Structures are given as C-alpha cells and as structure tokens.
Amino acid sequence: MLSKFIRSKWFRKEEERPFMANHASNPVFSGASTYVLDEELAKIVNISMALELPLLLKGEPGTGKTMLAHAIAESLTMPLIVLNVKSSMKLVESLYQYDTLTRLNDSRFGDSSRNVSNIEDYIRMGKIGQAFVAEAKVVLLIDEIDKADTDFQDDMLDVLDQMQFDIQEIDKTVTAAHRPVIIITSNAKKDLSDPFLGRCNFHHIAFPEPDMMRDIVRVHFPDLDKELLELCVKTFYRLREFQGMEKKPATRELINWIRALMRDADFRPKDLVAGKIPFLGVLFKKSSDYQQAVVQGRRFRM
C-alpha cells in the first residue's frame, strides 16, 4: 500500500530536511515479467535514472509508453504513482489540495477529531506531492502531458527540477525526501515547449516490428501454438494496413484479440487463412474504423 510510504509529518522547512541525492548505487532496469524491452530503450531508461532526469516518451497509442512505468516499478519494487493529466488541470492540483469544504463542515458540526484552527489538517497531497513525501523512492508517471497547456508543462518541470514546492495557505515548503524516477508520456497531440524538451531525456517508442511482437505475444501466451501465433501476428499486421483508419489496432488490441480467439470454442486457425476475421470489434474501437474494417475485410486473404 502506498500509504505506508507517506510521512505523517511532511511539512518541514527546507533547511530542516535538505534534499540529498544518493549516487552510491543506481538501480538497473532490464525489463519486467510482461514487458519486452529493446536495448535502446533499456539504455535511455537507465541513463535517465542515473542522471536523475525525467524521461519523455513519445509514440503512437499502444506502443507501451504507459506500461513502461508500471514495468519499472515492478522490476525495481518501487511504488508507482500516476498523474493522469487533464486539459483543464492546474498545476496546484497535482501538488496539493486545501480541503476547504471538509474544514467548513467540521466547523459547523464539530464532530471531527481534526483541529479546525490547524489548516495543515486539511491539506491533501496531489500526485506529485505524494511522490515527494513518500518514505521510499517511487516511480512517478505523468501520463499524456500533451493534454496540458504550456504554462502547466513548464511550471511542473520547475517544481521537478527544484524538488520542492510551497503551500501558500500555511506558508510552508514541501521538499522531496527522494527524487522520484519520472516517466512522462505524450501522444504528440500538441507540441511541447522548447524549455520543457530541454529539461528531459527523450525516447520515441516505435511500433514493434513483427519479430518483437512475437516475443511480446509469447510473454503473455507462453503455451500458444506456434502456427496460431504466426497467423495471428500476420493477420494483425495486415489489418493495420487497412486504409482510412483513425485508430489502428495496437499491442493491447492484439493481446485481447488472441485471448478472445482462445476462448471461442468454434474458432479454427484456418478461418484466418480463409480471410474470416472474428471479433473485429476487439481490434477496431471506433465506429468508423469498424465499418471500414468490415468492408475491407471482405477482400482479406492470407
């Protein structure tokens, strides 16, 4: 549970709890139980941890950007904290919230053990705040940063650079006990500012080639028949070539599609050879894509 990593007294002046980076031993990430890692990605993850820099990941949806943070947390046995960025989000929400409503109710009804005159009792840490006050080093995933405006992006990196932020309501500074492993993802829906890019390491996760995709499938289905594996992978990449698709099927869809095929008692591998593709709705999630897949699938043959 994450709560056991949270300090009960996390409000301290900077001079009382200085940030001390530990360079004595850097953890090494080499993959996880369900995450297939290529050498280049492994190197950039490990150098980012060694340099204590955020790692910005770009790539089309379904290439494993978000799951990389989960894999790092699993491999290094660190807690994972996830900040899902929203377009309307303000930076302060990711740092802390002052729960004025609860304080008002406590003052009206007087049935709480909290001290109404002590505002600290009504401060709640946001996701970045939780990462700062954790007792142990954590992995902090900032997911889909491109949804936020430029001010949010730049101000957030200021906080992550300094590893501290102020809580104005109580005139105190929260300073990180441990610098988190920071993974930031972007679907490239919006350009990121040059100052933002300048303070991150960067890696583009390309969509897996068929050989790597086979390895990924084997991790999830170690007992999958070799012939069925080949047919599924070949069919999948042919489907990704369909024209006019807004959202091509990604790795997650392939895994779920294979799972559906294995659960269908009536499915036969020869159906794929004949161009009969079941469960198109598992692969294509948008209505227009699904309709296009149905039409183009009529001409499909392996």
Residue boundaries of the structural domains of the chain: 2-204, 210-297
CB burial of residue 238 (10 Å; 0-12, 13-18, 19+): middle
- In terms of Cα–Cα distance, which of 199, 260, 196, 201 is closest to 228? 260
Measured CA to CA in angstroms, residue 299 lies from 157, 174, 175 at distances of: 50, 61, 61
Considering only CA atoms, which of 24, 129, 8, 67 is closest in space to residue 255? Answer: 67
Q: What fold, for 2-204? A: Rossmann fold (3.40.50)
Cβ atoms of residues 250 and 216 within 8 Å: no
Q: How far apart are CA 285 and CA 301, in angstroms?
A: 22
Supply the pLDDT for residue 114. 78
Which pLDDT score, from 0 to 100, does residue 7 have?
39
pLDDT, one tens digit for every residue, the chain (302 residues): 444 433 333 444 433 434 444 444 678 998 888 898 889 999 999 999 999 999 999 998 888 999 999 999 999 999 999 999 999 899 999 999 998 888 888 778 777 777 787 888 889 999 999 999 999 999 999 999 999 988 899 899 999 999 999 999 999 999 999 999 999 999 877 788 888 888 999 999 999 999 999 999 999 999 999 999 999 999 999 999 999 999 999 999 999 999 999 999 999 999 888 888 999 999 999 999 999 999 998 876 65
pLDDT at 6: 38
User: What pLDDT, on a 0 to 100 scale, did the predictor assign at position 181?
Assistant: 97
H, E, C per residue of 197-264: HHCCEEEECCCCCHHHHHHHHHHHCCCCCHHHHHHHHHHHHHHCCCCCCCCCCCHHHHHHHHHHHHHC
